[in-house]
Copies of this chain bind each other. A is one copy, B any other.
Amino acid sequence: MNLVTLGTIALDTIETPFGKAENVLGGSATYFSLAARFFSDCGVISVIGRDFPGEYIEFLKSKKIDLSGLEEVDGKTFRWEGYYEYDMNQAHTLKTELNVLETFSPKIPEKYKNCEFLFLANTDPEIQLKVLNEIKPKYSLCDTMNFWIIHKKKDVEKIFKKVNAVVINEGEARQFCETPNLIKAGRDLLKLGVEKVIIKKGEHGALFFSKDTFFSAPAYPLETIVDPTGAGDSFAGGTVGHLAKHKVFDDSSIKKSIVCGSIVASYVVEDFSANRIKKLNPEDIVNRYKKFREIVAFDHNL
């Protein structure tokens, strides 16, 4: 396997100023793999309950996502319910039902072991560590969230130091490093022993830090964001998928891959759930990649 992700497959109920979607396909592994598959094969380690609609399974399979690491168990699928107000930067959670996630113990198919790339989406850092140790990928990346930083910071720190790159959003970076300054946060993470750091800033783009480089990518300019759910995970999917395609992990390749990730995410948020990404073509990605180059270009002679 070239690329594997550990994450959630969820049923989301979401309301935004542009409408409402009930019990739709969601979850970090869903968005990650749907974005990554434009560039690489992608295996999913996750769990669903008996209530999970067969059509969603068929849909994921139709997109050539490898589900041999997806377990179906007794109980209900993980559900998230939330809404966004006019300011789409902030998700408001109404309900989180962990359901089958509560007792989730990942079972890893043999063919996922020693994969090239592993992305550990946000989950309990102890589970992330266990999966990392079992899979032994060539390159690994991980995300986390505020809940784990508050309750298991030592474990979060442990996984951060073990992976090759940390991909977190600006709020988590500020919280983990206890500083409002994102540049300081990124550099503090490097000092802690993290190899490479990618900070996701939503409408403001993304930052990338390594010992040799600093890179700032804008967000693709969108006038209308219908549903921001999954933007961060599809950003990661596009980024890691593109790295996995070329089997590279140098700073220059990571910059280019971050732009790919931003572009895929910019499409995802144009509709609810996977409605937009399922219609996306590789040419759409190429088109916005060209636009991206123009957006940041300025005359090099002062």
Contacts and interface: CB of A to CB of B under 8 A. Distances in A.
Interface string A186-217: 01000000000000010111010000011111
A252 B300 CA distance: 11
Contacts of A289: 302
19 contacts: A88-B180, A182-B203, A183-B222, A201-B204, A204-B205, A205-B216, A205-B218, A207-B221, A213-B294, A214-B221, A214-B294, A215-B296, A216-B295, A217-B298, A252-B298, A253-B299, A255-B298, A256-B298, A296-B296
Contact of A302 (B87, B88, B256, B302): B256
Nearest to A285: B302
A18 B215 CA distance: 27
A109 B185 CA distance: 49
Interface of A: 86-89, 180-184, 187, 201, 203-205, 207, 213-219, 221-225, 252-253, 255-256, 258-260, 285-286, 289, 293-300, 302
Contact of A259 (B213, B293, B298): B298
Given A216-B205, A295-B216, A300-B293, A87 B180 contact: yes
Given A204-B201, A218-B216, A252 B299 contact: yes
Contacts of A203: 181-182
A87 B184 CA distance: 13
A87 B296 CA distance: 27
B222 A299 contact: no
A223 B183 contact: yes
A223 B299 contact: no
A147 to B, nearest CB: 22
A280 B251 CA distance: 32
Nearest to A178: B86
A205 to B, nearest CB: 7
A181 to B, nearest CB: 6
